Amino acid sequence: MEGFRRALRELLPAERLQERAPMREYTTFRIGGPADVLAEPASVGELSALLRLAETHGVPKVVIGLGSNLLVRDGGVRGLVIRIGEAMAGIRFDGEATLTAGAGAALKDVAAAAARYGLAGLEFAEGIPGSVGGAVAMNAGAYGGEMSAVVRSCLVIDGAGSIDRQHAAALGFGYRRSAVQDKAWVVVEAEFSLSPGDPAAIRRRMAELAVERRSKQPLSVASAGSVFKRPAGHYVGPLIESAGLKGLRVGDAQVSPLHAGFIVNVGEATCAQVLRLVELVQAEVRRLSGVSLELELRVLGED
């Protein structure tokens, strides 16, 4: 790793490199041990160079965004964590009802920009935590909308650092999945195809969804959003609630008393506690209803 670290220091300035980076500070769950090295690229060129560098040195690598759908294990992450953040978060209006956003842009900021330009189609994304890159990779959605309906194309980088543009048909969108995950691509930017609309009506709809979200979701407590994928023919929250599991705790990990589809960190929860709670919920729901709950969270690192 020492040769790799030297090469990293030549590639990026010290303020964008961190050794033994506490991953709990880079996830909305506020959980996770240290990463060996965390790097924050400021351009497509730097991101590509980081990926090539890790490949050349045989160093494990993982790419994250705002950490909103992420659970990091207590032992942390070995190798290189690349965080795509504010430095790659530009949003621009390209005319003809098209917005282009960098992978590090927060979805709420892209939705707000669309409203300013009088572009409809992203209202559903106003309250989804996380960044564009992660949202495209997992085809994030809410309130009847999802990324597959608005993404026209993406600029992606493969594991070796090669850059290519992939159009919607090649992105293989499905329920909470895409070809981005299957092919281990890294999203650099996404192009959104939207529809002209009345800015006031767009903002009004976004405000309505924000009120609904605040009334039903534990937004004031650390979490990683919805823990489980929605099983066919069912809704996760009612399944867990009907099993009598609302409020169940393992240490400081708790099934949210407000929305049973969320697990929240009410203090100093560990990844081990969250995963134990996940196991208990899955087992009891399966026992009572026969439904198997599949994790939506992305789990990284080692115990």
Q: Is 240 exposed, middle or buried (0-12, 13-18, 19+ CB in 10 A)?
A: buried
Is 296 in the active site? yes
Crossing angle between the packed helical segments 107-116 and 199-216, to the nearest 10 degrees: 150
Q: Which residues of 211-252 form beta strands (DSSP E)? A: 222-226, 249-250
Identified catalytic residue from 48, 68, 131, 226: 226
Is 226 in the active site? yes
Other C-beta atoms closer than 10 Å to the C-beta of 13 total 9
8-state DSSP, 293: P
R_g of the chain, CA atoms, integer Å: 20
- At residue 119, the 3 state secondary structure works out as strand
Identified catalytic residue from 123, 126, 189, 296: 296
Identified catalytic residue from 176, 178, 191, 223: 176
Distance, C-alpha 69 to centroid of its chain: 4
- At residue 185, the 3 state secondary structure works out as coil
* Distance separating alpha carbons of residues 303 and 174, to the nearest angstrom: 31
Phi and psi dihedrals of 155, rounded to 5? Answer: -90, 125
Active site residue ranges: 176, 226, 296
